[in-house]
Amino acid sequence: QVQLVESGGGLVQPGGSLRLSCAASGSIFNYVISWYRQAPGKRRELVATISRDGSPNYADFVKGRFTISRDNAKKTVYLQMNSLKPEDTAVYYCNARTMLVERWGQGTQVTVSS
């Protein structure tokens, strides 16, 4: 089973960009990978998902601004975040799942503020 480590979070001004990375300890070939986020006092919500064949899906609130991608050779999934808004502030988590297992990373903080 893979272990997941997120990185790339930080403080950015509104309108700015960040790229999050989710690095796996093993092959991600068989995993569907998703990014979730959780803001203080709110439920964790799905941001984007990328299937095993690379097909992406996005929550309506990030469509046109965020792009999810995967590099199976590097065992890494990315979330490119553009045109960031203060409401995008949250801890972002990477999730990997198959029919049998589900793994979570520890999260990376994204803060959008001027």
Q: Rounded to an integer, what distance in angstroms lies between the CA atom of residue 46 and that of residue 6?
A: 16
pLDDT digits (tens, 9 = 90+) for 62-99: 999 999 999 999 999 999 999 999 999 999 999 999 99
Confirm if 28 and 2 have CB atoms less than 8 A apart. Answer: yes
Would you state the pLDDT for residue 1?
80
pLDDT digits (tens, 9 = 90+) for 9-58: 999 999 999 999 999 999 999 999 999 999 999 999 999 999 999 999 99
Average pLDDT, the chain: 97
Question: Which of helix, strand or coil describes residue 65?
Answer: coil
Q: Rounded to an integer, what distance in angstroms lies between the CA atom of residue 43 and that of residue 86?
A: 17
